[in-house]
Chain A
Amino acid sequence: MMRWKEKEPAVPAGEVTGRVPTEEEEFIEKEKFEFWHRFCENKTALLGLVVMVIIILMAVFANVIADAELVTLQDISVRSQGPGAGHLFGTDGYGRDIFTRVVFGARSSLFIAFSTIFISCLAGILLGVLCGYRGGTVDTIVMRIVDVFMCLPPLLFSLSIVAAIGNGMGNLILAVSITMTPYFTRVVRATVLSVNSMDYIEAARANGATDLHIIMRHIIPNCMGPIIVEATISLSTMIMIAASLSFIGMGVQPPTPEWGAMLSDAREYMRDAPWMVLAPGLAIVITSLSFNLLGDGVRDAMDPRQKK
């Protein structure tokens, strides 16, 4: 996988800011540059990034690409029509345009994926830093609870939360976030433990820095690498769990367009109208493939074992 190349010299950070950078800033700048350099060498990862950006743009500009009114417009006269000129991906059992719904479905799916990542990351950082930095009884208690949570299969866990608090997009986000938090907590805690034993933490402490200062200025920034890797890799898992739950009718509710829910609707028409299951499914596959490629690229680019 690796290609040995001459390393180009890092861009001096001083040029950007106009002042002489400290040694630490120079180091961070160099790291960032090397990360990008390695990432861009990886063609598949770059492809993943490009596809992801396209999908995000599609979600953001959904109302430019397609007509928002068509999302829920039920036209009985064009029910179950195959792909053609008027309807690019055909129409569904209610006569709604599938292309429009797939485009707008990107909004729901991406919104769910990114907000669950955000919430569970935040909760994971809070708990992980608390455990890793404080240690002791708090650490033991929280980690035992995390262990127990991880004994529940993720999808089943999300499902039982949704069963209790009800369907809907907000509840789905909450359920998946709770499910994923233990995984982030573990990653953050392990990283904090390794960062905590570094000399610069000791130095900061000797300088009289407060705990809060050490956590905010030294611990969290130095933990970001593994957190970003974990977050990117988890993105496609989030998409999958959300789509699965919507598919069995426990997530986003109709008529909101969501890929999993669309597949669930399309099931009963599958025999006569296979295009209905094709478009939303391919949308999920492409999105999650791009996330997976991106995640792999980010991980490989950050992997310290490859640094030479």
Chain B
Amino acid sequence: MAKYVLKRILILIPIMIAVSFIVFSILYFTPADPARIMLGASAPQDALDKMRAELGLDKPFLVQYGNYMWGVLHGDFGVSYRSRQSVFLEIFARFPVTLKLAGLSIVTVSVLGIFLGVISAVKQYSILDRILTVFSMMAASIPSFWLGLMMMLFFSLKLGILPSYGVESGWKSYVMPVIALSLPSLAEVIRMTRSAMLDTIHQDYIRTARAKGRMEGGVIFGHALKNALMPVITVIGSNFGSLLGGAVVIETVFSLPGLGNLIVTSIRTKDVPQVMAGTLFIAFLFCVILLIVDVAYTVIDPRVRTSYIGTGKRPSGKRDRGKPDSEVKAS
């Protein structure tokens, strides 16, 4: 087991390097002259040239990338064009907010989504099931930022019980952002859990478990849910990506001082190192989540454990080969 996790962590390194290369190449094309931003519009030409040389901007693309990555390896993510401070300081200050937002959302999505999905499947065709189906259809179609605005209108401006911006009021500040952010993903998890549960619930081994005299709760959660959990975990993992992306927008809506907000303001001010560092940070976080999901498969499903551990095969990408993604995404 430890060997497998170690292997997965080692695979993470080339992936992260590739991700950083993509992000660096994209942002390399930003039409901003950092020297001009730092020195102001009226700076003389030779001062600009000197500044460019100092920043290493006169070197070829690959050398610049190499220098940047060398710095990243040493914990130096570059210097903000605006504040002239290490961008890492700002990221470090903002990261907890995003982590809290995304973390609370993913917990809400997983717990509530699986629970409601199971209920929906167990009580198939009941009123509750129908309500949940309609609810998840609606929830998937509401843009999270609009939902955020509407809640703000009602709870902050009309009732005045929840703050409409900032994080100064503790847990209250996170209520609306978390709801707005998690609703679309919640819909997806409910639907996935429902269909996965419906697939397993009619299997023979469920009937066997019932015939053995196991309590209904044990049958549902011990046998059915355990077997239905794999596709649900896949969906939760990929939804963490949407949550991190959505956090960028939600943080803007509620003016939360998080990473997403930082990225958006930095894009506006053309502060490339800050954008780069923020984006890389979120991308790395997502990579780690995907790793955790991969490891979670082996923890939950003994079949995966025995097929991947000990055979020395590379697990990544083999899982869904030959199976259309639509099938995974669908249902």
Contacts and interface: CB of A to CB of B under 8 A. Distances in A.
Given A159-B263, A267-B149, A277-B150, A152 B19 contact: yes
B283 interface: yes
A166 B31 contact: yes
Contacts of A260: 143
A240 B250 CA distance: 13
A293 B141 CA distance: 10
Interface residues of B, number: 55
Contacts of A155: 242, 245-246, 248-249
Contacts of A154: 241-242, 245
A269 B113 CA distance: 35
Secondary structure at chain B's binding surface: helix, strand, loop or mixed? helix
Interface string A218-251: 0000000010011001001000100110011110
Nearest to A230: B326
Interface in A143-202: 143-145, 147-149, 151-157, 159-166, 183, 186-187, 190-191, 193-194
Given A151-B283, A187-B324, A248-B264, 18 more contacts: A147-B317, A149-B22, A151-B286, A151-B290, A152-B19, A156-B283, A159-B248, A159-B267, A164-B27, A191-B324, A193-B321, A230-B329, A236-B140, A244-B143, A248-B249, A281-B143, A285-B146, A296-B137
Closest 4 CB pairs of A and B: A155-B245, A153-B245, A289-B141, A281-B146
Interface string B37-58: 0000000000000000000000
A293 B138 CA distance: 10
B262 interface: no
Contacts of B141: 236, 285, 288-289, 291-292
A248 B252 contact: yes
B170 interface: no
A270 interface: yes
A186 B325 CA distance: 7
Interface of A: 143-145, 147-149, 151-157, 159-166, 183, 186-187, 190-191, 193-194, 226, 229-230, 233, 236, 240, 243-244, 247-250, 260, 263, 267, 270-271, 274, 277, 281, 284-285, 288-289, 291-293, 296, 299, 303
B29 interface: yes
Contact of A247 (B31, B145, B282, B290): B145
Nearest to B28: A164
Contact of B326 (A145, A240, A292, A299): A299
A145 B275 CA distance: 22
B242 A153 contact: yes
Contacts of B252: 247-248
B112 interface: no
Contacts of B143: 240, 243-244, 247, 260, 281, 284-285, 288
